[in-house]
Amino acid sequence: MKNLYLICFFTISTFAFSQRNYEQSLEEAKAFGSFKSAENNLLDAEYKPEYYRLEMNLNPNQLDYSGKTTMHFTTTSDLNQIKINAQPNLSIASITYHSNTITDFSRAENVLTIQLPETIPNNQLDSITISFSGEANSTSNGLKRGFHEEVPVMETISEPWHGSSWWVCKDDLIDKVEKLDVYITHPTEFKVASNGLLKSVTAIGNGNSKTHWQHNYPITTYLVAIAVTNYAEYNNSVTINGTNVPIVNYLYPETLSNWTASLDQVPSYIEFLSEKWGDYPYKQEKYGHAQWNRGGGMEHATMSFMGNFNFGLVGHELAHQWFGDQVTCGTWHDIWLNEGFAEYGDGLLTQNVYGDNEFSNWKEYNIGLITAENFGSVYNPEAENQSRIFNYRLTYAKGSMAVHLIRYILNDDELFFQSCRDFLNNPEFTYNYAVTEDLKMSLENSTGMNWDDYFADWIYGEGHPIFDVKVHKISNSNQVTVTFNQTTSHNSVSFFQTPFEIEFRGGNGESTTRRFNLTENGQSFIVNDLPFPTTSFIPNPKFDVICQINSTVLNNEEFELNNSNQAKLYPNPAKAQFTIENKQPINEIKVFDASGKAIYNVKGLNDTKIQIKTNSWPTGIYMVQIHSGVGIQLKKLLIE
């Protein structure tokens, strides 16, 4: 879900952010702020919903409505009562079980408890029907009435836990039903948008019609949606792996012409994401959009509800059909699995449609937004706080850049996208739910790599790294040494491990990029294959890593050698040992090989002359860091 709450800190390019929707997702949080989380009211219910038949009477010309939920369920133990969610704004008209009316029921907050006339044995399929009524624009705002050009529109929203504010259901993340039927009785002049395939629109007299939508894929309650108004229909289609997929768009008649050019691009977006993440997950039904009055969009399965049809919002909600709908986060702690991957879908489409420069702009904007504050993790520690769930900076922007970092660490697009497909198609998760640790396990299985540090630093940890980068030019050569020092913006992470790139530039327009693997603070690297003398350098040139650059220094070794405070290192080249002398007492010595790996470290020396044995060191070039009271000095050492 993306809510339109525009933020414009700075302009990066003419395309980049004039046509995009960079939203803070707080608008819905304000609308629903008075309601408790479903986490507070997880049902102690010993059954699993299998099917919903939702029948509603919705007339946009009036606020009141009525409905009926029929739920088929399978018991998970002997059962003598049904618990189901119905928020206080709903009135319960009647409850029917096996054609008999049940009057023995009670309500507490958003839980309706129904006493059954008999015990249902474990593992038995059964059903119950609950009739209810409510009023649009009530305190829940789950079902809202608004107007466009003086024409009324009724529309629903359920994320994160507001489905039960407009219909009776088991309102949680993990109970996906296998099938959904939606029957809406409405004035004939209106159309109904909903999930799945349109099965029928039947005139029933008195100026009313009944519209039937049917969805035959597993679906969680917050992805069920209905909208009713005088929609104009604008359709398209796309072929995915031999299957023709209808693209059904319901728009307000007065704005249809504004958006057809944007909607005409959607087939190519579906093709692209299907190529990267696997076939569009609802290809046997449809994809589409329904216009609504709320800001931003909501990724209802097979039909996203949209406040506009700009590129970024269209891409984000489409990407959710894979991440969020096909695989749904298992708790609101893990909402980044939905929103981070969906926002990265927008990034992928940006790269595909507009090229690498605009993709770099996209990343740069997100990094600027993320690092504007020094705290906050991708993983959401406050599952009951709706504002935190939909915090754009952390859940969306940082979540999407965390996904990009997986791609960047792998440095292999084929493996990255295969890893995404492996996660989406895992039988445990597909058309089901997953949590953060499930993604970690899936990545480890797909890549054969250990992802402990990545998840500890970048997902569960708060803040971001802050770099000081120093490049030493070696006189009379193209060779340089690079030293990275890192502080962190939040004390939850002592060091962010990451690959990191530097673009080296020459005086005649030359440039080349080198990658470094940062595993500990203070690493030094030797770069001895540059084809030109370095006159400047750019750290993180394509904005691949969430970070701030505190300082960059380009030094010339010849200048440093003129400083009388410089340490002496001899013999150099060395064989069995070498000596370091310094005017100030030496506190610590670290030695790095050419790959940046620390191979020697000794602290607490407090001496001006140190001898180090090198008998066991392989021949090659090393960087020696000398720590003293006047700072850190770097020396190149050759072992023969």
DSSP string, 95-133: EEETTEE---EEEETTEEEEEEEEEEPTT-EEEEEEEEE
Q: Which residues share a beta bridge with 502?
A: 514, 539
Contacts of 605 (CB under 8 A, 6+ apart): 585, 586, 587, 588, 589
- At 43 the pLDDT is 84
Determine the topology of domain 335-460 in CATH: Neutral Protease; domain 2 (1.10.390)
Q: Which residues share a beta bridge with 73?
A: 49, 126
Q: How far is the C-alpha of 143 from the C-alpha of 126, rounded, in Å?
A: 29
Does residue 559 have a pLDDT over 60?
no
- pLDDT tier for residue 474 given thresholds of 50, 70 and 90: confident
- At 564 the pLDDT is 56
User: CATH 1.10.390.10 in the chain, residues?
Assistant: 335-460
Does residue 140 have a pLDDT over 60?
no
Cα dihedral 470, 472, 473, 479 sign:
negative
Which one-letter DSSP state was computed for residue 393?
A: I
Q: What is the share, in percent, of the chain residues with pLDDT greater than 70?
A: 92
pLDDT in tens, 297-354: 999 999 999 999 999 999 999 999 999 999 999 999 999 999 999 999 999 999 999 9
Contacts of 50 (CB under 8 A, 6+ apart): 72, 73, 74, 125, 177, 178, 179
Most confident of 518-532, 574-588, 609-623: 518-532
- At 44 the pLDDT is 83
Does residue 245 have a pLDDT over 50?
yes
| 105-108: strand order across its sheet | 79-85, 111-120, 105-108
Q: How far is the C-alpha of 617 from the C-alpha of 592, rounded, in Å?
A: 11
Burial 324-348 (b: 16+ CB within 10 A, else e): bbbbbbbbbbbbbbbbbbbbbbbbb
Contact 385/323 with Cβ under 8 angstroms? no
Cis check: omega of the bond before 60, within 30 degrees of 0: no
Which one-letter DSSP state was computed for residue 189?
A: T
Burial 400-431 (b: 16+ CB within 10 A, else e): bbbbbbbbbbbeeeeebbbbbbbbbbbeebeb
User: CATH 2.60.40.1840 in the chain, residues?
Assistant: 464-557
- pLDDT tier for residue 122 given thresholds of 50, 70 and 90: very high
- pLDDT tier for residue 222 given thresholds of 50, 70 and 90: very high
Cα dihedral 496, 500, 502, 503 sign:
negative
Choose which CATH entry (3.30.565.10, 2.60.40.1840, 2.60.120.680, 2.30.330.10) describes domain 464-557. Answer: 2.60.40.1840
Contact 57/66 with Cβ under 8 angstroms? yes
Cα-to-chain-centroid distance, residue 253? 33
- pLDDT tier for residue 563 given thresholds of 50, 70 and 90: low
Q: Which of 160-174, 340-354, 475-489, 558-572 has the least mean pLDDT?
A: 558-572
592 compared with 210, residue with greater pLDDT: 210
- pLDDT tier for residue 12 given thresholds of 50, 70 and 90: very low
Which one-letter DSSP state was computed for residue 323?
A: B
Quick count: other Cβ atoms within 10 Å of Cβ 207? Answer: 10
Q: How far is the C-alpha of 268 from the C-alpha of 343, rounded, in Å?
A: 18
User: CATH 2.60.40.1930 in the chain, residues?
Assistant: 563-640
Nearest residue to 499 (alpha-carbon basis) of 480, 523, 481: 523
CATH superfamily assigned to domain 563-640: Macroglobulin (MG2) domain (2.60.40.1930)
